[in-house]
Amino acid sequence: MSISAAAVTKLYGEQKALDNVSFEVRTGEIVGFLGPNGAGKSTMMKIITGYIPPSSGTVSVNGLDVETGLPEIRRQIGYLPENNPLYPEMYIREYLEFVASLYKPETPVRDLVSRIIKVTGLVPEQKKKIGSLSKGYRQRVGLAQALVHNPAVLILDEPTTGLDPNQIVEIRNLITEAGREKTVLLSTHIMQEVEAICDRVIIIDKGVIVADEAKSDIYSVVKRKGQLIEVEFDREISGELAEKLGSLGTVKKLNEKVLLLEAAGEQDIRPLVFSFAVNNNLTVLSLQKKETNLEEVFRLLTNG
Ligand code: ADP
Ligand code: MG
């Protein structure tokens, strides 16, 4: 197990930012840590990287306990903090050499930095000051400082937030590339990010893990939660009729003739909707099972 969090709770004063959080990230996985703002993503990442201690619970990285093994763990983790804090007055190479030297590596710092400047596509900009770079290039510098010591584990806190669409694609490609030989935990509030990059997704909401699934299995979480059906009848549905239909699930009126039905359980309720129509002299003009994309999964699980 590359990262293991066991019953981690974090209190900020009275507030519980993390509530008994447990999960594991296996070696080689790229895991999306997905949740709305304030869910506790950054807090968890700061705990994994040893920047703040948990109030209770334990975290280990590559088998080393974060509480006791921190210096060694720092060498094995690359961390891109939220908002990518950098020194705008420093030159790219100067900054990366400074960061690399902190790890006291065996390989000469200059070589490490030259390599990572190539990997992250910074060659054309390498003589510039960080402050003069575009946001996309600054993010590359952030990734470069996380990767420069060739860590086995990467912790990336919202790596594409604030970038334009082209920059997003470029940064995602870099992460995918780096992820081929590393274990990656990446936080995001963007569903497409998980679709694009990750193997697994852990969804967190208000400090609690609400889903932990392989990306391909996340849709079954919603099936377990229920199904969403949009049905159009040939005439207006009275309040009384809508109430009757309510025995099948939660009814929401989209307009006079169109209803949205949210039903719990796995049984397909479409035949029941047809029977309902027949019994009440209604004709079903259309009946659609709403596709559940990750966006909807997220909304259902986080009430966001
Ligand atoms: P996310 O990264 O998912 O947006 P955070 O981990 O930053 O969430 O925050 C989780 C919750 O903890 C939020 O409600 C936030 O306001 C609170 N919080 C974060 N850092 C601190 C802090 N240093 N002091 C007090 N509250 C904090
Ligand atoms: Mg955050």
State the residue for tokens 């006791």: 68
Choosing from 8, 12, 204 the residue with most ligand 1 atoms within 8 A of its CB, the one to mutate for a pocket test is 12
In ligand 1, the atom with minimum distance to the C-alpha of 13 is 25
Residue range 190-209: average pLDDT? 90
Share of the chain above pLDDT 70, in %: 94
Q: Is 82 helix (H, G, I), strand (E, B) or coil?
A: coil
Q: How many CB atoms lie within 10 A of CB 226?
A: 18
Residue showing tokens 């594409």: 160
Asked if residue 69 has its Cβ within 6 Å of ligand 1, the reply is no
pLDDT surpasses 90 at 254: no
Task: Give the pLDDT confidence of 210-227 residue by residue, as tens digits.
Answer: 999 998 777 666 556 667
Q: Which of 15, 34, 190, 302 to mutate to test the pocket of ligand 1 (most atoms within 8 A of CB)?
A: 15
Answer whether 39 contacts ligand 1 (Cβ < 6 A): yes
CA 88 – CA 76 distance, rounded (Å): 26
Pairing of strands 153-157, 77-80: parallel
Tell me if 38 CB under 6 Å of ligand 1: yes
Residues in the chain: 304
pLDDT at position 247, please?
85
Of the candidates 201, 216, 223, which has an alpha carbon nearest to the alpha carbon of residue 23? 201
- The alpha carbon of 38 and the centre of ligand 2 are apart by a number of angstroms equal to 7
Q: DSSP letter at 290?
A: P
Question: What local confidence, expressed as pLDDT, does residue 219 receive?
Answer: 67
Higher pLDDT: 297 or 201? It is: 201
- Ligand 1 centroid from CA 75, angstroms: 26
Round to whole Å and give the CA distance between 49 and 59: 9
pLDDT for res 83? 87
Q: Are 232 and 283 in contact (CB under 8 A)?
A: no
Q: Is the pLDDT of residue 71 over 70?
A: yes
Ligand 1 contact via 204 beta carbon (within 6 Å): no
291 pLDDT more than 70 = no
- How much is the pLDDT for 1? 64
| Torsion angle of C-alpha atoms 121, 124, 126, 127, degrees rounded to 10 | -170
Nearest CA owner, ligand 1 atom 17: 17
Task: Please report the pLDDT score of residue 246 as a whole number.
Answer: 86
* Nearby residues of 62 by Cβ (< 8 Å), 6 or more positions away: 2, 73, 76, 152, 153
Q: How far is the CA of 82 from the centre of ligand 1 (A)?
A: 12
Instruction: Name the residue at shortest CA distance from atom 27 of ligand 1.
Output: 12
- Residue 27's nearest CA partner among 180, 183, 181 is 183
pLDDT of 301 strictly over 80 = no
- Output the CA–CA distances (angstroms, integers) from residue 83 to 43, 79, 233, 238, in the order listed: 14, 12, 50, 52
Q: What is the pLDDT of residue 221?
A: 66
The chain-wide mean pLDDT, for the chain, equals 90
13-64 pLDDT, tens per residue? 999 999 999 999 999 999 999 998 999 999 999 999 999 999 999 999 999 9
Q: Which of 48, 103, 38, 109 has its CA nearest to residue 75?
A: 103
Report pLDDT for 293: 63
Ligand 1 near 17 CB (within 6 A) = yes
Dump pLDDT digits (tens) for 72-98: 899 999 999 998 889 999 999 999 999
